[in-house]
Amino acid sequence: MDTTLPTITSPTDLKALPPEQLPALAEKIRATLIETLSETGGHLGPNLGVVELTIAMHRVFDTPKDKFVFDVAHQGYVHKMLTGRWDKIHTIRQYEGLNGFLLRSESEHDCYGAGHARSLVDLCLRR
């Protein structure tokens, strides 16, 4: 069993991983999404589709300085896991748990709080 995911508490930790560990990390993220969302409900498909993309974005860019705008904010579950919220992912969309969308008050790495795309670039640039 891959134990890399629990060591990722920020994008800095992700950047420190050697490239050969990234496929196992992506597999663990997918397994976590499937296991969690089968219990809590949530946006499985949009998140399964952006696992490698989100890993790559966090290895290249520096949030919160660099702003990420997802097509729809419910593609942000992987982003949440890679920005120190993996241990709370089982609470997503639950009372007092993680929000199902990106939320500025939840993390400095979320540059907007919206359920669906709408002038998000403008929102991010204003911050």
So what's the pLDDT on residue 84?
94
List the structure tokens of 58. 């966090």
Give the span between the Cα atoms of 98 and 111, in whole angstroms: 16
Residue for token digits 């890399």? 4
pTM: 0.86
So what's the pLDDT on residue 43?
87
So what's the pLDDT on residue 117?
53
pLDDT by position in tens, the chain (length 127):
567 788 899 999 999 999 999 999 999 999 999 999 999 988 899 899 999 999 999 999 999 999 988 877 678 999 999 999 999 999 999 999 998 888 888 999 998 776 555 555 555 555 5
So what's the pLDDT on residue 120?
54
Amino acid 123 reads L
Containing 37, the helix (H) or strand (E) segment is helix 22-40
Superfamily of domain 5-126: Thiamin diphosphate (ThDP)-binding fold, Pyr/PP domains (3.40.50.970)
- The CB density around residue 30, as the number of other CB atoms within 10 Å, is 16
So what's the pLDDT on residue 59?
97
